[in-house]
Homo-oligomer: A and B are copies of this chain.
Amino acid sequence: MSSTIGDTVRLSVFGESHGEAIGCILSGLPAGEPLDREELLLQMSRRAPGRDKTATTRRESDQPDILSGLLEGRTTGAPLAMLIRNTSQRSGDYASLARLPRPGHADYTGHVRYHGFNDVRGGGHFSGRLTAPLVFAGAVCRQILKRRGVAVGGHIYAIADVADRPFDPVEVDAALLNQLAAVPFPLIDQEQEATMRERVEAARLDQDSVGGIVEVAACGLPAGLGSPMFDGIENKLSALFFGIPAVKGVEFGDGFGLASLRGSQANDPYACAGGRIVTLSNHNGGLLGGITNGMPLIARLAVKPTPSISQKQQTVDLVSGQEAELEIRGRHDPCIVPRAVPVAEAMLAFGLLDRMESERSWG
């Protein structure tokens, strides 16, 4: 079993970085939902490489070909299949990888898991390229959520040691989320962009890479979405977020910051506002007992530095069993955090729509 998730809306992803194609099946969608193709392409372009001025090479067109489930621009209720043909299949760069696993990548673990039969070219099925179908699926779900009044968005919370301003967990709204989705380097505090780019450029010059943190939010959610224990929103979303390559941590609300708070600080007091029950603070990120309380949902994802770096690294030759040195060639992102933002949003949108379709009690 692998690469499949969801309870009612289900996503099944296929493909390898250097294979013939990548794509997905998105099944269980509600019928009759119009899909705006331009909006789908826009979301996919946010993830595509070569978009940013700092990274000129290796452009991928990534034109999604919708093969089923759509008739006259609306979902039919049948499975929606999407295909992207791989055009750039340069596998020469990776020839030695089958013998020399790259540190920080899944080469070695995939080798053991699949007894050496896995496609190791470009990371194969483990490649970050597989996030293109994730963004596609999220972009479909996002359009449906929007018609239900739910907005989803995100920003670069941090790159290396440089932090953006966090979302105001009470005030964040659809306007801000939509605005962030329209820019290539989404930040709340634009003034951090230059410093962040400096960190990335410094790493690149050092043949190195940097990590960061992505913050995502959803507004307009009804209260009462989610279920106790293992079917809570945190459980479902974290299982999705950890499906994004390089994500090594997930937190909701104040997350790890809650560890050093007292209960009197972390408890969000209830109040009435405009006929609705709200909380005056939102340390819990809109979630209590795994269920939405109607406040903005806030999550953060730790993204490790791109493991593909050009520096000489120590590894082991899987054939000879001897220790060896490895130099990875080819073009690599010195920082994938900006491109991880739309992927994280996509997983959030998918997870929320699946919960809405799986539970009848929220409406």
Contacts and interface: CB of A to CB of B under 8 A. Distances in A.
A50 interface: no
Nearest to A162: B260
Given A10-B4, A28-B1, A314-B280, A23 B81 contact: yes
B68 A21 contact: yes
A228 B106 contact: yes
Contacts of A321: 272
Contact of A109 (B27, B104, B224, B240): B224
Interface residues of A, number: 154
Given A78-B14, A315-B270, A2 B68 contact: no
21 contacts: A3-B79, A4-B10, A12-B79, A15-B79, A19-B68, A21-B68, A76-B114, A76-B119, A112-B293, A113-B361, A114-B361, A160-B260, A238-B239, A249-B251, A251-B251, A251-B256, A256-B300, A258-B304, A259-B302, A263-B306, A269-B315
Interface in A120-138: 124-126, 130
Q: Could you say how many copies of this chain the assembly holds?
A: 4
Nearest to A322: B272
A113 B288 CA distance: 11
A357 interface: yes
A265 to B, nearest CB: 8
A210 B259 CA distance: 7
Contact of A358 (B1, B32, B229, B265): B1
Interface string A74-91: 111111110100000000
Contact of A125 (B78, B117, B263, B271): B78
A315 to B, nearest CB: 4
A67 B15 contact: yes
Nearest to A304: B258
A154 B102 CA distance: 30
Contacts of A304: 254, 258-259, 261, 266, 283-284
| Top 3 A-B pairs, shortest CB-CB distance | A106-B289, A249-B251, A112-B224
A328 B208 CA distance: 53
Interface string A8-20: 1110111110011
A258 B223 contact: no
A346 to B, nearest CB: 13
A168 interface: no
Contacts of A260: 158, 160-161, 211
A116 B77 CA distance: 10
Contacts of A3: 27, 78-79, 227-231
Nearest to A337: B259
Contacts of A234: 242, 247-248
